[in-house]
């Protein structure tokens, strides 16, 4: 039997031990699995309490079972669910009993969702939204992923594709009636109008500057500066816990330390880097190299310094920044140890005075980071595109529509071919044509049991 025809099963809840564990079974043998272990099929979509027994008749657990006959199920196939106590021994016994039934096997990562996709229960944009929802760390990421899962982009793409096909039908009808005098011109005019409208709509979506893709990846903030200026202490203040070793000795931080934060719903990764200085220590040299590399790639650098003196151009050069850098951009100057009589009071734009040890000035710095994140991510509430794959295919569709407008006066055949290319790109976006090469890359990132 082909693996795709086999019945799959997996633990779909968190790792054991837990209060309750959910084991899902999907495929043609799901009903047999349920009757073998629970005695008989329950009423569809109604929870029933059953004593589960293995093939030898030995009790496994007192459980709740559910039955979802296909195609009205999450995967489009027959599905059985077992809600059992989440002990390791219980799960081991249940999974062993299921695997003893012929033509059943453990599911691969993302296989439940892939079967749902293949059975038309969701398109590829919705599957990507589900993946984003599973991996969402903040509330804003969750809301964006949920909109995709509910078909925000997929519904628009299906509408665009249908309208392209309608315009293509008019163009191709003009080809069929090319010997009828003014008939092609009468058909061409509404087609051109529809194509222009489609091109304008997709172009506006592409002009959203990738805010939604940024929200998926998060904002990267690097804390940099010379050794022993309080970088690790600031890192601990932002994280509100001890994530970095704090020592009065210079060069304590040798590697890059990262911590993920949720700042007002915005995902932010803060990086504590090694002190940037010249050194003969080969280990510290590697730490400095990594620090410079991460600072260059960061969206924002907090350059930590002591005292009120100007930060020289060598600091900007060490971060890969230009000497004509203006404060308030991608590098902020953070002056530490104001409790010792250093910087304090009103600060210039892009400069902050703090005491990393006492916490003075930290709330103001965090507020500024939240505002920076809000400006960085922009408005994502109505954004359609959340992945580079989606943007690339929409750009292909837009380019094909533009070329069809340029070619329609030269010949309907050329314009019709470009319209077919635009419809094909949207079909790939939805996962309905020629997407086998991307399916594995997408679904293998899912959890087993999803």
Is 427:122 a contact under the CB 8 Å cutoff? no
Residue 442 backbone dihedrals phi, psi, to 5 degrees:
-80, -50
> Which pLDDT belongs to residue 329?
46
Same domain, 94 and 41: yes
236 and 356 in a single domain? The answer is yes
In a domain, 355, yes or no: yes
Hey, CA dihedral for 372, 378, 380, 383, is it positive or negative? negative
Which residues, at least 6 apart from 306, have a Cβ–Cβ distance to it below 8 Å? 229, 230, 335, 336, 337, 342
Residue 362 lies in a domain: yes
pLDDT for the residue numbered 188:
77
**Same domain (yes/no): 242, 141:** no
Q: What is the pLDDT of residue 174?
A: 61
Residue stretches of the annotated binding site: 24, 81, 121, 228-233, 247-253, 272-275, 450
114, 170: one domain: no
The CA-atom distances, in angstroms, between 75 and each of 28, 71, 111, 335 are 12, 8, 10, 56
Instruction: Assess whether 65 and 161 both reside in one domain.
Output: no
Annotated binding-site residues for Mg(2+) read 232, 253
Which residues are annotated binding-site positions for (6S)-5-formyl-5,6,7,8-tetrahydrofolate? 24, 81, 121, 450
- Among 105, 123, 141, identify where a domain stops: 123
Buried b (16+ CB within 10 A) or exposed e, 96-117: ebbeebeebbebebbbbbbbbb
Tell me, yes or no, whether 222 and 371 share the same domain: yes
pLDDT at residue 114, as a whole number: 92
Q: List the domain range (segments joined by +) for residue 159.
A: 127-211+394-431
Residues tagged in the binding site annotation for GTP: 228-233, 247-253, 272-275
Statement to judge: residues 29 and 146 lie in one domain: no
End position of a domain, from candidates 103, 123, 143: 123
> Do 262 and 137 meet the contact criterion of CB atoms below 8 Å apart?
yes
Whether residues 42 and 119 share a domain: the answer is yes
pLDDT of res. 327:
37
Q: What is the DSSP letter of 386?
A: -
In a domain, 383, yes or no: no
Give the residues of the chain that fall short of pLDDT 50.
Answer: 181, 183, 245-254, 277, 320-329, 343-346, 437
88 and 14 together in one domain: yes
The reported pLDDT for the residue numbered 205 is 87
State if pTM tops 0.85: no
């Amino acid at each position: 039997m082909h693996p795709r025809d086999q019945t799959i099963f997996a633990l779909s809840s968190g790792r054991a031990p837990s209060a309750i564990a959910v084991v899902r079974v999907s495929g043609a043998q799901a009903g047999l699995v349920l009757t073998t272990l629970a005695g008989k099929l329950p009423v569809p979509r109604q929870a029933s309490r059953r004593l589960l027994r293995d093939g030898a008749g030995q009790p496994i657990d007192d459980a709740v079972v559910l039955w979802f006959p296909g195609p009205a199920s999450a995967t489009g196939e027959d599905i059985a669910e077992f809600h059992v106590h989440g002990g390791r021994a219980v799960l081991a016994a249940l999974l062993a009993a299921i695997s003893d039934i012929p033509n059943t096997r453990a599911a691969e990562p993302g296989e439940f969702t892939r079967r749902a996709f293949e059975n038309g229960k969701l398109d590829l944009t919705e599957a990507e939204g589900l993946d984003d929802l599973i991996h969402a760390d903040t509330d804003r990421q969750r809301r964006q992923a949920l909109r995709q899962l509910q078909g925000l982009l997929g519904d628009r793409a299906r509408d665009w594709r249908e309208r392209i096909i309608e315009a293509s039908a008019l163009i191709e009808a003009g080809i069929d009636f090319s010997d009828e005098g003014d008939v092609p011109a009468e058909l061409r005019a509404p087609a051109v109008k529809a194509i222009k409208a489609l091109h304008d709509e997709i172009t506006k979506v592409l002009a959203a500057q990738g805010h939604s893709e940024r929200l998926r990846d998060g904002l990267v903030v690097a804390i940099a500066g010379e050794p022993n200026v309080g970088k690790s202490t600031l890192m601990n203040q932002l994280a509100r816990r001890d994530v970095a070793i704090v020592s009065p000795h210079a060069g304590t931080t040798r590697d890059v330390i990262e911590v993920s934060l949720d700042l007002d719903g915005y995902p932010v990764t803060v990086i504590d880097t090694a002190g940037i200085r010249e050194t003969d220590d080969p280990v510290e040299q590697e730490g400095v190299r990594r620090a410079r590399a991460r600072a260059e790639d960061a969206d924002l650098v907090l350059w930590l310094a002591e005292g009120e003196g100007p930060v020289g151009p060598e600091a900007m050069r060490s971060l890969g920044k230009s000497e004509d850098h203006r404060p308030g951009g991608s590098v902020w100057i953070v002056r530490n140890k104001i409790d010792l009589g250093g910087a304090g009071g009103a600060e210039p734009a892009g400069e902050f005075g703090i005491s990393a040890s006492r916490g003075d000035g930290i709330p103001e710095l965090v507020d500024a980071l939240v505002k920076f994140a809000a400006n960085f991510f922009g408005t994502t509430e109505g954004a359609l595109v959340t992945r580079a794959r989606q943007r690339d295919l929409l750009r292909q569709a837009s380019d094909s529509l533009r070329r069809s407008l340029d070619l329609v006066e030269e010949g309907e055949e050329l314009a019709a071919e470009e319209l077919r290319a635009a419809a094909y790109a949207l079909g790939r976006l939805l996962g309905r044509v020629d997407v086998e090469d991307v399916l594995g890359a997408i679904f293998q990132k899912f959890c087993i049991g999803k």
